[in-house]
Each structure stands twice: as structure tokens, then as C-alpha cells.
Amino acid sequence: MAAVGVVLALTACTQERQNQLKREIQNWTGTNGVLEVYAGDKLVRRFMRIDKMSTAYGTDDARPRSYRFGYGILDENLNGLVDPGEKRVYFEVSDYATNYVFFESPR
């Protein structure tokens, strides 16, 4: 009966609210994301097993900053696999100067 209530509540929501709920759930469960950073058309960095990317906010003014950050495993040899010795690192990507693609890992 509770499952029917949840389904009815979700169908009554707007598409935007459904997207917000999905993002909130993913904040708890993670997305197993991949971030690829490009210089022109060349792949130069890949981070794997990213739970989420967050927007930075100012300490004093609480305004959003022009970059996003997260933690992921640096795929040093760009083979798309987490190899022995590849470490989890902190990263930042600028809204202004970086060409990047973030997606859920198909593996």
C-alpha cells in the first residue's frame, strides 16, 4: 500500500520536481560517475567512481562560486579502468575555462 502511495505522489509531481528528487536520492546513494576533461578534442584527464560533484559556495556570502568539485579516482593511463595504484583524489573544474563531460559509468 505504501508503494502505491509513493508512485501516486511521484506521478503528481512536475518533471522538475521529479528530477530534484532523483538528484537528492543520488546524493545519498552516489552515481558511480565519470568525469572526462578535454583540451580541445583531446581527452587529458579522467576521474572515475565519483559519488557526486558539488557547487562551491562562499563562506561569508553563501553565494555559488564558478567551479564544481568532487572526489574520484584519477585514471592516470586513461584506459577507463581503475588499475592498482590509481588513487582517489580531490578535483575542481571551472565553469569558465574547462571543457568537461560528467556521466554515469556504464560499468
Instruction: Output the pLDDT for position 82.
Output: 94
Within 1-107, strands assigned E span 33-39, 42-50, 54-57, 64-74, 88-94, 99-104
3-state DSSP: the chain helix, strand, coil percent, rounded to 5? 25, 40, 35
In this model, does residue 23 exceed pLDDT 80?
Answer: no
Domain boundaries, the chain: 1-29, 31-104
pLDDT tens, position by position, 27-73: 544 578 999 999 989 999 999 999 888 888 999 998 999 998 999 99
pLDDT: which is higher, 77 or 14: 77
For the chain, what is the mean pLDDT? 82
Q: Do the Cβ atoms of 81 and 102 come closer than 8 Å?
A: no
pLDDT reading at 5 higher than 70: no
Percent of the chain with pLDDT over 70: 73
